[in-house]
Amino acid sequence: MNRLSLLKGTLAAACGLVFATGATAQNYPSQSIKLIVPYVAGSPVDVLARVMFQKVSQTIGQMFIIENRPGAGTTIGSKAVAIAPPDGYTLLLAGQSLAYMNIFYPKLDIDPVKSFTPIAKLAGWSHVMIVPPRFPASTVKEFVQYAKTNPGKVSFGFGLGTSPQILGEYFKVMENIDILSVPYRGGENARQDLLAGQIHMNFVPISNVLELAAAGQVKVIAITHRERNKLLPDSPTFVESGYPQLGFGPDAWTALAGPAGMPEAVVKKLNQHVNEALKAPDLLATFDKLGMEPLPGSADDMRIFLDGHIAKWPEILKTAKISGP
């Protein structure tokens, strides 16, 4: 085969690939879509995924099949998506752990930027700091004073490798307080021990504490958002309490991502349907009940958002002296 024939063959193959990709994107989706959720079934994030993508299914014309793959700080589910074909039929419900999983797991062979295609932001939420009802402090200032007066006698429980661990450890370092850290397999186990009086402090997603607070089973000390939450209108923010370093805004979030190399047209179509769902009144009502706020935007917005968190959290983890398990 001469050079001209080889060149023609190469060009024809390239054109065929472009045409095939375009046709795939144009016909997408032609089958159900697997959505891997790297959190336990029944968690607030899992509930969000099921409600959110039931709504997206109605407009995009195919079912989203939720597959829960929790474990190892969300890395198990995340890696399953990173190595999947980039055809848009295996997607990830990503969270803030994507921004720091490589710090917890330095030998992890996936990259939060290079291994994934950003598609759309979904929702954000904040945490509240809680203590048992009889704990001798009702404000952040009183808590810090009590902890400093009683070094090593206050205990802090958290799910290992989670946002509550980061928030609590960061709080300890910033305020130079000696609090015993007690890791658990998950946040629910930590909350159960707090209710039983075995530990004294926990950071909890707002949706997980509403019933407990209403029943007087816990005291809400402060919220990590910059503004008060309408579900807990009497609970101050850390900023109001005089501790702006804990005023993160939404410190937890979810987003839709896929394997690296997804066709742009597929990404655009998914993003369009996600943003359309984020306008639905019934979905917004569910978000309110979960203490979440919608985060609409383009795929480029998500990339910028993720880049910002990748730049932000490593320094916080370094300050909090948190490393991998």
Residue 189, pLDDT score = 87
40 and 138 belong to one structural domain:
no
Give the β-pairing of 219-223 and 90-95. Answer: unpaired
266 and 315 belong to one structural domain:
yes
295, pLDDT greater than 90: yes
Residue 238, pLDDT score = 95
- Choosing from 195, 211, 246, the residue where a domain stops is 246
102 and 162 belong to one structural domain:
no
Query: What CATH number should be reported for the domain holding residue 154?
Result: 3.40.190.10
228 and 139 belong to one structural domain:
yes
Cβ within 8 Å of residue 3, ≥6 positions away: none
234 and 140 belong to one structural domain:
yes
Residue 249, pLDDT score = 72
Residue 10, pLDDT score = 42
324, pLDDT greater than 70: no
For residue 46, give the nearest of 71, 67, 75, 76 by alpha carbon: 67
Averaged pLDDT of the chain: 88
21, pLDDT greater than 70: no
* Domain limits for position 200: 127-246
Across the chain, the runs of DSSP E, i.e. the strands, are 33-37, 64-68, 90-95, 116-125, 127-131, 155-159, 180-184, 202-205, 219-223, 252-259, 292-294
* 170 vs 106 pLDDT, higher one: 170
Give the DSSP letter of residue 112. T
Asked if the structure places residue 303 within a domain, the reply is yes
* 230 vs 301 pLDDT, higher one: 301
138 and 213 belong to one structural domain:
yes
Percent of the chain with pLDDT over 90: 62
Q: How far apart are CA 144 and CA 174, in angstroms?
A: 11
Asked if the structure places residue 19 within a domain, the reply is no
Residue 18, pLDDT score = 44
pLDDT tens-place string over residues 192-209: 999 999 999 999 988 889
255 and 284 belong to one structural domain:
yes
Residue 12, pLDDT score = 43
307, pLDDT greater than 50: yes
Mean pLDDT for the stretch of residues 62-66: 97
Residue 105, pLDDT score = 84
Q: How many CB atoms lie within 10 A of CB 318?
A: 12
132 and 230 belong to one structural domain:
yes
74 and 210 belong to one structural domain:
no
Asked if the structure places residue 15 within a domain, the reply is no
279 and 194 belong to one structural domain:
no
Asked if the structure places residue 239 within a domain, the reply is yes
DSSP string, 5-69: HHHHHHHHHHHHHHHHHHHHHHH--SS-EEEEE-S-TTSHHHHHHHHHHHHHHHHHSS-EEEEE-
Q: How many domains does the chain have?
A: 2
Asked if the structure places residue 91 within a domain, the reply is yes
290 and 234 belong to one structural domain:
no
Query: What CATH number should be reported for the domain holding residue 87?
Result: 3.40.190.150
pLDDT tens-place string over residues 108-119: 889 988 999 999
Token pair, residue 223, equals 């919220």
310 and 238 belong to one structural domain:
no
13-32: b or e for each residue (b if 16 or more CB lie within 10 Å)?
Answer: eeeeeeeeeeebbeebbeee
